[in-house]
Amino acid sequence: MNKNVGVSVAVIAVLAAGGLYLLVKPAGDAPAPAMPASAPVASAGPATAPAASIDQAAPAGQVTFDPKNSTFTLDGQSVTLKNGISSIQSAPESASSTTTRYFGDEGRGDFNNDGQEDIAFIVTQDAGGSGLFYFIVAAIKGSDGYKTTNGFFIGDRIAPQSITIPRSSNELQVNFADRQPGEPMTAPPTAGRVLLLKVTPQGVLEGVMK
């Protein structure tokens, strides 16, 4: 199975919730300017893997989130990415493995109207079968840094387009292309879709029913 299944969809018009959506994949964020290196600080003990990391290109004292080196849950199982990838055995003494990869399409905005910038991103998971499953994860910024949500399943062998967090909406919009109802999984994803999500006060990412 080719793990890189996907069809580039330049522009897809989707009529949803009474409005017209144009699904266009964003060009991405420009890199932040480099800052002078600070003096090393002695460590009092072994380092642990925090949910958020200090970005050396950010102003001193500013905590940023690196999705390529983050921990979250998929289907109730904890996953930790290191440099954008995680690979674990599917079962003890099994030759097969489950591989999770950072896909990208980051969306940034205030997800819960607290004045802080939150982040959402997509990951893929391949368990060694024919499917390539796409999930979206949110990282909510608080006073003590970022906290990740569970991963929410988007679809199998889809074509993600963009993630948006409309101002003051408390909603996360995932734009992607999927197959038409009844089409086989071998068909290219050409039907535009919009998935609406929210984060509960308990920090759970779930779908919005409308």
The pLDDT of residue 63:
67
Q: Is 55 domain-assigned?
A: no
CB atoms within 10 A of CB 2: 7
Q: Is 123 domain-assigned?
A: yes
Q: Residues 175, 154: contact at Cβ < 8 Å?
A: no
In this predicted structure, the answer to whether residue 42 has a pLDDT above a threshold of 80 is no
* Count of H-run helices and E-run strands, the chain: 0, 16
In this predicted structure, the answer to whether residue 101 has a pLDDT above a threshold of 80 is yes
In this predicted structure, the answer to whether residue 193 has a pLDDT above a threshold of 90 is yes
Please tell me whether residue 67 adopts helix, strand or coil conformation.
helix
Q: Is 15 domain-assigned?
A: no
In this predicted structure, the answer to whether residue 28 has a pLDDT above a threshold of 70 is no
Q: Is 4 domain-assigned?
A: no
Q: Is 70 domain-assigned?
A: yes
Q: Is 176 domain-assigned?
A: yes
Q: What is the pLDDT of residues 141-191, one digit of tens each?
A: 988 899 999 999 999 999 999 999 887 778 899 999 999 999 999 999 999
Rounded to whole angstroms, the Cα distance separating 44 from 113 reads 37
Which domain covers residue 134, as residue numbers? 66-207
Count of domains observed in the chain = 1
In this predicted structure, the answer to whether residue 81 has a pLDDT above a threshold of 80 is yes
The residue ranking higher by pLDDT, 15 or 106, is 106
Q: Is 160 domain-assigned?
A: yes
Q: Residues 86, 65: contact at Cβ < 8 Å?
A: no
Rounded to whole angstroms, the Cα distance separating 207 from 199 reads 9
The pLDDT of residue 205:
94
Question: What is the arithmetic mean of pLDDT over 31-50?
Answer: 40
